């Protein structure tokens, strides 16, 4: 029963942060919170099958979907993780016999990552759970609402991508400006 209301900023927000848009801050807060609770619920659904971290599951899902071994950096790009994190992740997957490193046939700097039968078995059991959880979570939204939702998220993501290519955003004024 708790925590099901929209997150809203306090009444003094506009006065305290003159350059900021309350609706944008609220949208951001609700976005992050919703993503977190959804991820937690998905995690709860697949945890009983195997203790796989979100990154480990996502990597296996990418490999399973690709249907062929992939270079390490391709997976890293999809997961938005650094090459060092990818190395660590591959170590974990190999230790559990869920994936293997193969030499790249033509470029000896690269490696190919292949999913094992065990890895495929586990991810094939998890994917229906993940999809069922997502399906249940969006039960309350109509088809049109879902499409609109995706469009809004994509618009947001496009904007953030542009921002990420430049300097970090700075506030217009650090302190409340004196009335002119």
Four-CA torsion 133, 135, 138, 142, nearest 10 degrees: -170
In whole angstroms, how close is the CB of 89 to DNA at the nearest point?
Answer: 5
Please tell me the distance from the alpha carbon of residue 2 to that of residue 159, in angstroms, as a whole number: 32
In whole angstroms, how close is the CB of 177 to a copy of itself at the nearest point?
Answer: 12
By the rule CB under 8 A, 51 interacts with a copy of itself:
no
By the rule CB under 8 A, 71 interacts with a copy of itself:
no
By the rule CB under 8 A, 14 interacts with a copy of itself:
no
By the rule CB under 8 A, 107 interacts with a copy of itself:
no
In whole angstroms, how close is the CB of 97 to DNA at the nearest point?
Answer: 12
Could you tell which of a copy of itself, DNA, none binds residue 6, using a CB distance below 5 to 8 A set by kind?
a copy of itself
Select from 98, 115, 139, 179 the one that contacts a copy of itself (CB under 8 A).
139
DSSP 58-118: HHHHHHHHH-S-EEHHHHHHHHT--HHHHHHHHHHHHHTTSEEEEE-SS-TT-EEEEE-HH
Binding mask 76-95 for DNA (x = CB under 7 A): x----xxxxxxxxxx-x---
Pairing of the two strands 99-103 and 111-115: antiparallel
């Amino acid at each position: 029963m708790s925590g099901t209301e929209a997150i809203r900023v306090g009444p003094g927000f506009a006065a305290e942060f003159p350059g900021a848009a309350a609706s944008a801050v609220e949208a951001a807060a609700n976005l992050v919170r919703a993503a977190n609770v959804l991820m937690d619920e998905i995690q709860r659904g697949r945890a009983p099958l195997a203790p796989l971290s979100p990154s480990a599951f996502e990597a296996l899902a990418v490999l399973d979907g690709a249907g062929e071994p992939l270079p390490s950096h391709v997976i890293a790009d999809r997961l938005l993780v650094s090459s060092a994190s990818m190395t660590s992740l591959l170590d974990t997957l190999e230790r559990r016999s869920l994936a293997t490193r193969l030499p790249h046939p033509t470029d000896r700097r690269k490696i190919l990552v292949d999913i094992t039968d065990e890895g495929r078995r586990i991810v094939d059991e998890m994917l229906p759970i993940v999809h069922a959880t997502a399906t249940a979570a969006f039960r309350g939204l109509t088809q049109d609402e879902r499409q609109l939702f995706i469009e809004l998220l994509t618009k947001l993501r496009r904007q953030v991508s542009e921002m990420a290519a430049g300097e970090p955003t700075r506030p217009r004024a650090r302190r409340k400006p004196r009335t002119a």
